[in-house]
Amino acid sequence: MSKKSNIHFDISERKVLLRILDIVSVLAILYFIGQAFNFDYFKINSIHWVWSIVLAFYLSIFATIFELYNLQKASKFEVVVQNVVLTSSLTVLFYLLTPFFTPELPENRLQIVYFYVAINLALLIWRYAYIVLISAPRFHKRVLLIANENDVNVIIDSLQKSDPNYRVVGFVSTKNDIENPFLSPHVRKIEQNDTADSISDMFISEIVIATPQAEGMTVSLYNKLILLLESGVPIKEYTQVYEEITHRVPVQHVDKDFYRYFPFSRSNQNKLYLFFHRVLDIFFSILGVAFGLLISPIIIFGNLLGNKGPMFYTQTRIGKNGKHFKIYKLRSMVTDAEKHGAQFAQEGDSRVTKFGRFLRKSRFDEIPQFINVIKGEMSVIGPRPERPIFVENLSETIPFYEVRHIVKPGVTGWAQVNAKYGMTQEDALEKLQYDLYYIKHRSMFLDISIVVKTLSTIIFFRGQ
């Protein structure tokens, strides 16, 4: 059997493509303007090569902050327009403010306007082409799922929510005695005997197995998969695909022998990494405390008018290795918020004051935690520390919840910049998946990515 091939882009490939062609499109239009018109401000040549590198660097940084590489948002042109304008505005501003590495201001100030308009135009034209061409269905990765029919909808939602171009177009049920009436009409059910022919007819790019061997993986189906693998069809296991696409560890699908699934990052024991991590903790904490002192008049005035009570409060939280410590925060709730006992904060919580809501959205309420970082009780980046009563309850219902305590808790973290707001058990499970992914893949690059995403959260006022 020969497998018909189709073109598709993986997540990493599309993100790399976006980054490269953002820079190429901007430099190309600036080169054209320089050649066609009397444009003195920015030139692309062997003498001024540093100018292009600095521009590419700023563009990449601010495009990341303003979520131009978020694939869900990159496929929506109205969102792209807003983010392109923000990206080009900050890129041009910083470019103008670093004249040592960039060209001096031109005598004709209109050239700066042309420079700004050209960057916007280049990005908008290229991003529109990306949406029309590369995000089109012809470039979707077409996937065949092998799973229990009752699990198909949940699996499809979890994968396509994170990658809109990852399309499950068919499935082979491992239990023939059930039928799911709520299946999407776009997902075709395939009989086990028709699997090989369907791979060719449906232009399948990949097979994903989402069922344990003990549940429906018959010898006959197993042999069919071996033949497909030998013919060049990629076959992957669901937890592997889930982690690659969502950047979360699917703990609900992991057996008790967690050590097989959690080969934790070597950075957790790497003394050089931990040293630089601590240096960055101190550096960012000093900046954070200094910023807090700078805006303290606003905080004091707002607290007097909007909170009417103590400005700070402390709470017992669980840190690394399960040790308890006192966390410092700016008070954002009424003084008797827990008169009926400890409870999770909810979205739109009536206990949050008006000024407290501003503190939470801006994340200014977290500033005192930099003192915990300086004391060594927390890190700038890590899982959020929870209260002992909540940890006790969640540990009883969510597998591997205690594993998040093998590293220091953080002021911000992978879960904080990715997970939605909410404190149901399902939300806690989602955040744990992100926390375990961070522990498993911890690195300086991931830390930098979290810092950049945190800036996006603050800028777009999405604090919790």
The predicted-structure confidence for 132-179, as pLDDT tens digits, reads as follows 887 766 677 888 988 888 888 888 888 877 777 788 888 888 876 566
Interatomic CA distance for residues 167 and 158, integer angstroms: 11
Identify which has the larger pLDDT, 380 or 265. 380
User: How confident is the model over 305-328, as a mean pLDDT?
Assistant: 90
CATH 3.40.50.1380 segments of the chain: 140-246
Interatomic CA distance for residues 439 and 405, integer angstroms: 10
Interatomic CA distance for residues 456 and 464, integer angstroms: 13
Output DSSP code: residue 421. S
User: How confident is the model over 387-402, as a mean pLDDT?
Assistant: 87
Output DSSP code: residue 306. I
Q: Where are the beta strands (DSSP E) in 134-258?
A: 141-147, 166-173, 188-190, 206-209, 235-237
On the CB side of 293, CA atoms within 13 Å amount to 7
Angle at alpha carbon of residue 168, lines to 167 and 173, rounded to 5°: 180
Dmax (CA) of the chain: 78
Determine what percent of the chain is predicted with pLDDT higher than 70. Answer: 86
Whether 307 shows a pLDDT value over 90: the answer reads no
pLDDT for the residue 186? 75
Angle at alpha carbon of residue 116, lines to 115 and 119, rounded to 5°: 85
Q: Given phi > 0 = left and psi -120 to 50 = alpha, else beta, which region is 262?
A: beta
Interatomic CA distance for residues 25 and 125, integer angstroms: 9
User: Mean pLDDT in the chain?
Assistant: 83
Interatomic CA distance for residues 18 and 226, integer angstroms: 36
Helices 152-162 and 238-246, packing angle to 10 deg? 30
Whether 11 shows a pLDDT value over 70: the answer reads no
Distances (CA, A) of 25 to 31, 69, 355, 407, 460: 10, 16, 44, 42, 26
Whether residue 59 contacts residue 23, with contact meaning beta carbons closer than 8 Å, is answered with: yes
Length of the chain: 464
Q: Domain 140-246: which CATH class?
A: alpha beta
Residues 6+ apart with CB under 8 A from 296: none
- Output the CA torsion 33→34→36→40 (10° steps): 110
Other C-beta atoms closer than 10 Å to the C-beta of 383 total 26
On the 0-12 / 13-18 / 19+ scale of CB atoms within 10 A, 272 is exposed
Q: Is the pTM of this model over 0.75?
A: yes
User: How confident is the model over 312-340, as a mean pLDDT?
Assistant: 85
Whether residue 92 contacts residue 115, with contact meaning beta carbons closer than 8 Å, is answered with: yes
Interatomic CA distance for residues 351 and 333, integer angstroms: 5
Closest-CA residue to 237 (of 206, 208, 199): 208
Identify which has the larger pLDDT, 267 or 54. 54
3-state secondary structure of 139: helix
Determine what percent of the chain is predicted with pLDDT higher than 90. Answer: 29
Least confident of 4-8, 31-35, 202-206, 357-361: 4-8
Q: What own/partner pairs with CB < 8 Å and gap ≥ 24 does 150-157 have?
A: 150/175, 150/178, 150/180, 151/210, 151/211, 152/180, 152/183, 152/187, 153/180, 153/182, 153/183, 153/184, 155/210, 155/238, 156/184, 156/187
Distances (CA, A) of 188 to 149, 193, 366: 11, 15, 49
pLDDT for the residue 395? 87
